Amino acid sequence: MRQYDLAPLYRNTVGFDRLFSMLDQLVSVDAAPSYPPYNIERTGENAYRISIAVAGFTDRDLTIEVKENTLSVRGERKPNEERKVDVLHQGIAARSFDRRFQLADGVQVTGAALENGLLHLDLVREIPEAKKPKLIPISSNGAQAIEAKQAA
């Protein structure tokens, strides 16, 4: 795979750091973690849901944080001291993870639920009033003025 050096772009631009960091992340897709698996669904026009498979984790083992358009989900299983069991086969992964998602501007996390080994994160894209399309009313005063001029 080719390696691209974005250092000249960092030196010659101001305010595009986030864009170049995202490009760096896209270039290094091969190094992206694959655990835990997840789905991203569209549940409405401006609503989304991320479902992460976290079998074996409880709500106390998971941490969800949003900071500067980055959603971080961390999982760290604490050892269960009171239950000593000899595990003959460990097929359910219990390793720690840190999964990050880049959120677009205006996307907010509205809730989280843990059910049947899946962590569901609900997100909504809130468009500010200034960016929403608005209808401009057309006045008919110009048409009335033309009609008045023709009548005279």
Asked if 85 and 64 touch (Cβ cutoff 8 Å), the reply is no
- CA 109, 114, 115, 118 dihedral sign is positive
Q: Is residue 40's pLDDT more than 60?
A: yes
3-state SS, residue 97: strand
Rounded Cα–Cα distance for residues 110 and 137 (Å):
35
Question: Distance (Å, rounded) from C-alpha 110 to C-alpha 122?
Answer: 6
CA 117 to chain centre: 21
pLDDT for the residue 113: 95
How confident is the model at residue 84, as a pLDDT?
Answer: 72
Phi–psi pair at 9, nearest 5 degrees: -70, -40
Contact yes or no for 98/35 (Cβ under 8 A):
no
pLDDT in tens, 106-150: 899 999 999 999 999 999 998 777 877 888 888 887 655 555 566
Burial class, 54, CB count within 10 angstroms (exposed 0-12 / middle 13-18 / buried 19+): buried
Query: For all residues of the chain together, what is the average pLDDT?
Result: 80
Residues 6+ apart with CB under 8 A from 37: 52, 53
Domain definitions of the chain by residue range: 1-32, 34-81+88-131
Assessment of whether the complete model's pTM goes beyond 0.75: no
Four-residue CA torsion sign, 80, 66, 29, 47: positive
Q: Which CATH architecture has domain 34-81+88-131?
A: Sandwich (2.60)
Least confident of 21-25, 58-62, 88-92: 21-25
